[in-house]
Chain A
Amino acid sequence: MIYGLIAVGYTMVYGIIGMINFAHGDVFMVGAFLALISILALGAGGIAAGPAALLLVLLLTVAFTALYGWTVERLAYRPLRGSFRLAPLISAIGMSIVLQNYVQIAQGARVKPLEPLVPGGITLLTEAGFAAQLSYMQMLIVAVTLGVLAVFTWLVTRTPLGRAMRACEQDRRMASLLGIDTDRTISLTFVIGAGLAAVAGMMYLLRYGVIDFYIGFLAGVKAFTAAVLGGIGSLPGAVLGGLLIGLIETFWSAYFSVQYKDVAAFSILVLTLVFLPTGLLGRAEVEKV
């Protein structure tokens, strides 16, 4: 689920400007930290946990992370647009390192724990000593993720901004011939991608309660795998890929070993790249010359 949200950001940026935004996983990590800071700040300000407080945290996190996304695009990518293909990629890796080290210095290298904000859950069935439990937290995460993806899908398919984004993806030069400010559209793409990563960051924090400056790398690789598995450039593919990666990890942990669950994602990435380079819902790049 959470990977799906991050994967959408990869796929969107790749689709529109043909670049793998390597710093995207770290934007997710920044989002998680901003969520933590917001929660602690609100707690210090005497605002107790509750739906309103969580919503406020969500808004603050999305707003500040989006600002990060915008800044990263402005500083590290836009100046390189039109230069050789590898340049923004290198810049992205640089940005990833910068973000990691910046958070490490600002927040300390120690792991940040958080008390569960939404305790409790419901027991679905109890049978022969096993209990299938669904926590409220898990339900909240699923609901928020689906809601955010629904809004995002509407934005891309039904609004003028979404149309401009798809136009930039298909033929950027033509889009500007129609009066579309393509630089602005690309900036907004980064901002929206960062906003989605922020939601994912907050969900991750709520789910696991523990974050460190390094979570961006692993989550980034898994989300990237989800995007590739779904077919990079395809938004429904990114969501599907995220779900699949989540499921595969769960089953892997259940049947094999939890310690090796990260291996699963890497194996899928390699297998997909070798046997199914266009992904499940991807299209062969025949239209681009």
Chain B
Amino acid sequence: MSGPLLAVENVTARYGAVLALDDVSLHVEAGEIVTLIGANGAGKSTLLMTICGDPPARAGRIRFDGADITGQPTHRIMRGGIAQAPEGRRIFGRMSVLENLLIGAQAVAVDPGPELARVFALFPRLEERQAQRAGTLSGGEQQMLAIGRALMSRPRLLLLDEPSLGLAPLVVKGIFAAIRRLNAESGLSVLLVEQNAQAALRLAHRGYTLQTGRIVLAGTGRELLARPEVREAYLGG
């Protein structure tokens, strides 16, 4: 397959009169971890959601694996090989851990067995707690569940929105190690939105910075870490 796995081309998105994304272009190659960093309200979550068609792109094009997915309904996009662990985790609190995982697989009609085994191998904590109500999990466990649920559809591209938010440093380390392992072992492509710019840029192959709806910088993780404007804005000087 030639061309990138995901290509976002000159995309604009708005909430009513608010312009949230302004002529944004980026791409993710197969097997890459790409991170998107930016301040609160920059439009990072909106970009991940617009890739999933909700809110839809008002201008520009989004291609996945060469096919134009702009304007498709969300459920159809998600059945085509993209999965998201969204901001705030959004697990189904009144369902069991196991049900949360199973529901991740049911729409794409993959046999949940092998995926479940892989998710449990990655996060053994979820296996221990599979019968528990998901709403009673700790924050770190909920994040594992949100990622595990996304993996259940056997995606080729995983969108992660601030997986480290509100978690203890040790837990964050575990989550980042899991992302690295997924990418290294199964070649999963990842688009990672993070406030924790230092850790994200170290983990990612490449990165972009987003500022009030516009991409301002792009480069490898190492390059961005060395840029003075990145150090100043996102790494605390």
Contacts and interface: CB of A to CB of B under 8 A. Distances in A.
A, B assembled together: yes
Interface of A: 160, 163-164, 166-167, 170-171, 173-182, 287
A180 B95 contact: no
Contacts of A174: 86, 90, 92
A157 to B, nearest CB: 10
Contacts of B149: 178
Q: How large is the interface on B (under 10, 10 to 19, 20 to 34, 35 or more residues)?
A: 20 to 34
B103 A163 contact: yes
B51 to A, nearest CB: 11
B54 interface: yes
Interface stretch (B31-39, B72-80, B137-145, B179-187): B72-80
Contacts of B135: 287
Contacts of B74: 176-177
B104 interface: yes
Given A176-B78, A177-B74, A166 B95 contact: yes
Given A163-B99, A163-B102, A173-B54, A179 B94 contact: no
Contacts of B92: 166-167, 170-171, 174
B90 A179 contact: no
A178 B107 contact: yes
A177 B86 contact: yes
B46 interface: no
Contacts, number: 65
A272 B223 CA distance: 65
A160 B106 contact: yes
Interface in B88-129: 90, 92-95, 99, 102-104, 106-108
B12 interface: no
A182 B106 CA distance: 13
B95 A179 contact: no
Interface in B62-80: 73-76, 78-79
Contacts of B78: 176-179
Query: Closest 5 A-B residue pairs measured CB to CB?
Result: A179-B107, A179-B78, A176-B74, A174-B90, A179-B79
Interface string B40-55: 0000000000001010
A173 B106 CA distance: 16
B84 interface: yes
B99 A181 contact: no
A136 B103 CA distance: 43
Nearest to B108: A179
B164 interface: no
B153 interface: yes
Given A163-B99, A163-B102, A181-B75, 19 more contacts: A160-B103, A160-B106, A163-B95, A164-B103, A164-B106, A167-B95, A167-B103, A170-B93, A170-B94, A173-B54, A176-B74, A176-B78, A177-B52, A177-B74, A178-B78, A179-B76, A179-B78, A180-B75, A182-B75
A166 B94 CA distance: 9
5 contacts: A164-B103, A171-B90, A177-B54, A178-B103, A181-B75
A202 to B, nearest CB: 33
Contacts of B93: 170, 287
